[in-house]
Amino acid sequence: MTRKYVLRLTLCFLIISVFFTELTIYADKGRPYYEETGEVVWDINTEDKIIALTFDDGPHPKYTAAILDVLAKYDAKATFFIIGKNAEKYPELVLRSYSEGHELANHTYSHPFNVSVAELQKELRQTKGIINSITGFSPVLFRPVGGNYNDQMINAAVKDGYKVVMWSWHQDTQDWKQPGVKKITQKVLKGSKPGDVILFHDGGGDRTQTIKALEEIVPELKKQGYTFVTISELIESKQQQEQVQ
C-alpha cells in the first residue's frame, strides 16, 4: 500500500512538473527564440547604415500631416502603425502615407492595453480591412499596444499572416511623455546605430515635440550617411545578408 502511494505521488509530481515547465515555455519564449524564428523583430544586426523610423497611434490630422511633410523634405521613408478607428476618421492621411512610399502597419482598431486573443484577432482583422479599403494594401506587420505581448498573441498574429514588430530597446524616445525636444533628439542621435528601429508617436496626444525633434534628427542622421527605410525593407536587407553568408 505504501509502495503504491509513493508511486502515485511520484507520478503526480512528474505530471505537474512537466505541466508547469511547458506552461513556462509557452508563457514567454523570450527574445532569442522569436528572433531565431523571425516571428518578432526588434532591430537587425547590420553594417549598412540603414535605420527604420516608426510611428504609433495615428493618423492624426495635424501631427501625421506635419510628420509626412518632414519626411518628404528629406526623402525619408517610415512605417506607420495605424489605429483602425483613427484611419476611419482620416482616410486621406492613410492614403497620403501610402502614396508617398511609407509602409502601413497594424496597431489594432481601438488601442486596447488588455485584450484576449479572440479580441486581438478581431481588432487586427478590422483594421486590416479598413487600411485595405482605403489603399488596396493589406498590412503584414503588427505592433502590440504598449509593446505588451504574450506567446498566444504572437501565435495568433503569425497565424493571421503578420510579423510582430517591436523596437530597439535603446531607441524608445518616450515622446508620449513630452520630455522636451532636446531629450528626444539626444536620445536618438546618441544611440543611433545601423539596423535600429526607432519608436515615435504621431497620435495619442500632443506630438509637437516629436515633429520639432524630427526636424533635427533626420537631417543630422542623413549627414552621417544614414538612409531611412521601412520595416519591410529592413527585414529584406537582413535576409539578403543571410543569403550572402
- Catalytic residue selected from 60, 102, 201, 202: 201
- Catalytic residue selected from 43, 56, 175, 202: 56
Candidates 72, 54, 99, 45; CA nearest to 231 is 54
Which residue carries 504621431 as its cell? 202
Return the SS3 of 26: helix
Q: Which residues pair with 189 in a beta bridge?
A: none
Give the contacts of 204 (CB within 8 A, at least 6 positions apart).
56, 57, 111, 176
Give the contacts of 57 (CB within 8 A, at least 6 positions apart).
81, 83, 86, 107, 111, 201, 202, 203, 204
Residue type, 172: D
Any catalytic annotation for residue 160? Answer: no
Beta strand pairing call for 163-165 and 197-201: unpaired
225: left (phi over 0), alpha (psi -120 to 50) or beta: left
Any catalytic annotation for residue 60? Answer: no
What radius of gyration, in Å, describes the C-alpha atoms of the chain? 21
Q: Could you give the residue numbers annotated as active site?
A: 56, 201
